[in-house]
A and B are shown apart, each in its own frame.
Chain A
Amino acid sequence: MSEKALLTEEYGVKGRDFEHGGEASSKIKNVLKKLGINNTIIRKVSIASYEAEMNIVIYAESGKLMLEIFKDKIRVTAKDKGPGISNINLAMKEGYSTAPPEIREMGFGAGMGLPNIKKNSDRLKIDSEVGNGTTLLFEVDLK
């Protein structure tokens, strides 16, 4: 945590804005491409960022994605003002979801978001306060 990031970028995300949902993670992907990072890593980061971004779109009022590039890893922090997660362990289970029916109808909220982030990252940390918001941080190592 102490090491300074080589590059930091921030992208705002609006809640319930399905029209633009996914743009922040697209931008992250394109930054990583410009840095010449290998495709497997780009793929992992871009899938995980997309899930994190859509979580903000689906559940929160607003939020942001922060991309930090270190010598040896990529970190994405998704911070939102939203309802928070009451039981993180439960939320990590595949198939568990608190998404309302209208969200599920769109194909979101299948309970795969957080497990997918976990699967595509080397470290995942979630801090959440019910009624206040969630900060999700994941890292992918650049071996």
Chain B
Amino acid sequence: MKNESYFHSIRISEEKCLGCTHCMRVCPTEGIRLRKGKAYIQDLKCIDCGECLRTCPHSAITSEVDLCNLLANFDYKILILPSSFASLDFKGIPYEIVLKRLFYSGFNEIWEEGIGNEIFLLKTRELLRKRKEKKPIISTACPSIVRFLQVNFPSLLYFLSPLNAPKDILASFIREERENYKKLGIFYASPCPAKVTSVKNPQGIRKSQFDDVFGTNNLYNKVLSIREMGEGKIYLSGRVGLSMGEKGGEKNFLKNYKVISISGVQEAKNFFEKLEEEKIPPVDYIEMWSCANGCVGGSLLPSEDTNIASFRLESERKKRFNKFSKDVDTIKIYKSIKEEILFLSEEIKPRPQYFLSEKFEEAAKIMNETEKILKKLPQIDCGSCGAPSCRAFAEDVAKGEATLSECIFYKNKR
């Protein structure tokens, strides 16, 4: 593998890791290995889906988020909340009070990402109306899905929507609107590692408009542990924007088009395999989330169950009587917003990580060798060797990255 550095936000604590192999088995890009009894991530393969974090029984895996050390550096602070925030269990505290407690933490304005979702969806609908070819369009709303394409399905990047992600559209819009504000800081409460990474290492745009990002779980704990309230300006989204916090939000809005809605990284993988082989029915748009049920399943949410979270989000949505935001005119913004805010400005480049070698003949040799080695292995994918499957281990051995004696079955048989 190439030794380029690539930033992702997943961190494994060597101290807490017991080498139990749970994470290694769920990684969709087979990007985790065990060396000397500890899990480590092959950086270039990481798509920040958070599957490892979710599955780790020892809380050894976290997402790198500094708890707002930067807040003090700004005079005017704007917080953007993901739609999935409204799905959290606030233990009976009304949403308005939750927001007031957040203001107490030092924010001057709170915007719901849903407003960005509304602009994103209106523009997506326009794209679908105009575009005759290059279909289906794959949504850019989930940054983990974008990264999954880069790493495992680069040929499908062709189908990726040209639109910037909703939270980035919103952040750029706010920055333009507030350009005269001195020391303006825009912050994002991320429901998942992928959105953390999309702030720190964005793809498709040169620079993120967010000054910092932190996990929604940190914010949640803060909200529940204080009673003080503050004041500030609130910009809520309507039903449309809020519905994108879960699977189906895009599909429901784009109901005049053929939209398929998929969630879960394994489901995404199966679907992309089929799309690559052109074995899917004709569709116009693909709504795709790496987490089960969409963002309500984000691994940086304190949620215990994504279906319950989904239910709570729906309850909150029913309280919104407006289709679009009533605090700003989303349709007017959509019509007047600059193209450079709406569209990605840079190419999203492939980052394929499945090659056995850069050189084709060398790769064929490694594959031959892999098949030979595989015949000596028990094919039970026990993971004791530190690779997610016997095949992955055989490949590692053929590439010279592991030795055959690391397989305990092979060792004992000899």
For the complex formed, measure the closest distance between the CB of B266 and the CB atoms of chain A, giving whole angstroms: 16
Assess whether A106 is interfacial by the CB under 8 Å rule.
Answer: no
Is there contact, CB below 8 Å, between B277 and A29? yes
Contact of B361 among A22, A34, A43, A71 (CB under 8 A): A71
- Bound form: Cα–Cα A69–B364 in Å: 8
For the complex formed, measure the closest distance between the CB of B154 and the CB atoms of chain A, giving whole angstroms: 7
Known: A29-B276, A50-B277. A36 touches B363 (CB 8 A): yes
Across-interface contacts of A36 in B (CB, < 8 A): 352, 355-358, 360, 363
> Would you list which residues of chain B between 353 and 404 have a CB under 8 Å from chain A?
354-358, 360-361, 363-365, 367-368, 371
Is there contact, CB below 8 Å, between A25 and B277? yes
Query: Can you list, as one digit per residue, whether each of B282-296 has a CB less than 8 Å from chain A (1) or not (0)?
Result: 000000000000000
Closest A-chain residue to B355, C-beta based? A36
For the complex formed, measure the closest distance between the CB of B134 and the CB atoms of chain A, giving whole angstroms: 15
Is there contact, CB below 8 Å, between A46 and B360? no
Contact of B277 among A7, A37, A39, A46 (CB under 8 A): A46
Assess whether A98 is interfacial by the CB under 8 Å rule.
Answer: no
Contact of B368 among A7, A46, A71 (CB under 8 A): A7
Assess whether A26 is interfacial by the CB under 8 Å rule.
Answer: yes
- Bound form: Cα–Cα A25–B273 in Å: 11
Contact of B364 among A7, A26, A39, A43 (CB under 8 A): A7
- Bound form: Cα–Cα A19–B189 in Å: 45
Across-interface contacts of A25 in B (CB, < 8 A): 277
For the complex formed, measure the closest distance between the CB of B279 and the CB atoms of chain A, giving whole angstroms: 7
For the complex formed, measure the closest distance between the CB of A44 and the CB atoms of chain B, giving whole angstroms: 12
Query: Can you list, as one digit per residue, whether each of A103-122 has a CB less than 8 Å from chain B (1) or not (0)?
Result: 00000000000000000000
- Bound form: Cα–Cα A6–B356 in Å: 14
Across-interface contacts of B364 in A (CB, < 8 A): 6-7, 35, 69
Assess whether A78 is interfacial by the CB under 8 Å rule.
Answer: no
Closest A-chain residue to B155, C-beta based? A39
For the complex formed, measure the closest distance between the CB of A57 and the CB atoms of chain B, giving whole angstroms: 14
Assess whether A33 is interfacial by the CB under 8 Å rule.
Answer: yes
Contact of B360 among A31, A35, A47 (CB under 8 A): A35
Assess whether B278 is interfacial by the CB under 8 Å rule.
Answer: yes
Closest B-chain residue to A8, C-beta based? B368
Query: Can you list, as one digit per residue, whether each of A1-37 has a CB less than 8 Å from chain B (1) or not (0)?
Result: 0000011010000000000001001100101011111
What band does the interface of chain A fall in when counting residues whose beta carbon is under 8 Å from B? 20 to 34
Known: A39-B155, A42-B155, A43-B155. A34 touches B367 (CB 8 A): yes
Is there contact, CB below 8 Å, between B277 and A22? yes
Number of A-B residue pairs with CB-CB distance less than 8 Å in the complex they form = 47
Is there contact, CB below 8 Å, between A7 and B354? no
Across-interface contacts of A9 in B (CB, < 8 A): 371
Contact of B273 among A26, A31, A34, A39 (CB under 8 A): A26
Most buried by A among B276, B355, B356, B365: B276
- Bound form: Cα–Cα A46–B155 in Å: 13
Is there contact, CB below 8 Å, between A31 and B361? no
Closest B-chain residue to A33, C-beta based? B354
For the complex formed, measure the closest distance between the CB of A143 and the CB atoms of chain B, giving whole angstroms: 12
Query: Can you list, as one digit per residue, whether each of A37-53 has a CB less than 8 Å from chain B (1) or not (0)?
Result: 10100110011001000
Query: Can you list, as one digit per residue, whether each of B3-45 has a CB less than 8 Å from chain A (1) or not (0)?
Result: 0000000000000000000000000000000000000000000
Closest A-chain residue to B152, C-beta based? A33
Contact of B367 among A7, A46, A71, A142 (CB under 8 A): A7
- Bound form: Cα–Cα A35–B395 in Å: 12
Across-interface contacts of B357 in A (CB, < 8 A): 36
For the complex formed, measure the closest distance between the CB of B290 and the CB atoms of chain A, giving whole angstroms: 21
Across-interface contacts of B367 in A (CB, < 8 A): 7, 31, 34-35
For the complex formed, measure the closest distance between the CB of A84 and the CB atoms of chain B, giving whole angstroms: 28
Is there contact, CB below 8 Å, between B277 and A26? yes
Closest A-chain residue to B359, C-beta based? A36
Q: Which residue numbers of B lie inside 8 Å of A, CB to CB?
A: 154-155, 273, 276-279, 352, 354-358, 360-361, 363-365, 367-368, 371
Which 4 pairs, one residue from A and one from B, show the smallest C-beta to C-beta distance?
Answer: A6-B364, A39-B155, A36-B355, A7-B364
Given A26-B277, A34-B356, A36-B356, 18 more A-B residue pairs with CB atoms under 8 Å apart are A6-B361, A6-B368, A7-B367, A25-B277, A26-B273, A29-B277, A33-B354, A34-B355, A34-B367, A35-B355, A35-B360, A35-B367, A36-B352, A36-B360, A39-B154, A39-B155, A43-B155, A50-B277
| 20 examples of A-B residue contacts, CB within 8 angstroms | A6-B365, A6-B368, A7-B364, A26-B277, A29-B276, A33-B354, A34-B354, A34-B355, A35-B356, A35-B360, A35-B367, A36-B352, A36-B356, A36-B360, A37-B360, A42-B155, A46-B276, A50-B277, A71-B361, A142-B360
